[in-house]
Amino acid sequence: QVQLVESGGGLVQAGGSLRLSCAASGRTFSNYAMGWFRQAPGKEREFVAAISWAGGSTYLTYLADSVKGRFTISRDNPKNTVYLQMNSLKPDDTAVYYCAGDFQFRTVVDGTGAYWGQGTQVTVSS
């Protein structure tokens, strides 16, 4: 089992920045692909960003078009933590943000990953 706990959400003005953290416990974190999703009120959950597991010399990252150039995903394996740096925030970014993890990068991206956190609220005021 893997437990995921998000933190770092809050209220920020448009144009501001936040960094979300997702702390993992349980099995070997470095073996898991990790990602972020979000769900706004009345909308379906949507993919935001994903990062591959720690194998190889570089990580594979993938971001939704809506956040490219503004958000960055990274991970710190010794700290068992994945981050989502969010810059130039817009009111449309307001949502509950969820951390997800699984062995396969594909399942993290398509939202069928095995492990999910409880979410952290991000609110961007105009």
Terminal-residue alpha carbon distance, the chain: 40
User: Which is it for the CA torsion 83, 62, 25, 75, positive or negative?
Assistant: negative
User: According to the model, what pLDDT value does residue 54 have?
Assistant: 72
Is residue 59 very low, low, confident or very high in pLDDT (cuts 50, 70, 90)? confident
Q: What is the mean pLDDT of the chain?
A: 94
21-30, 50-59, 72-81, 83-92: range with lowest mean pLDDT = 50-59
Average pLDDT over residues 75-87: 94
The full length of the chain comes to: 126
CA 34 to chain centre: 7
Q: Rounded distance, CA 15 to CA 101, Å?
A: 29
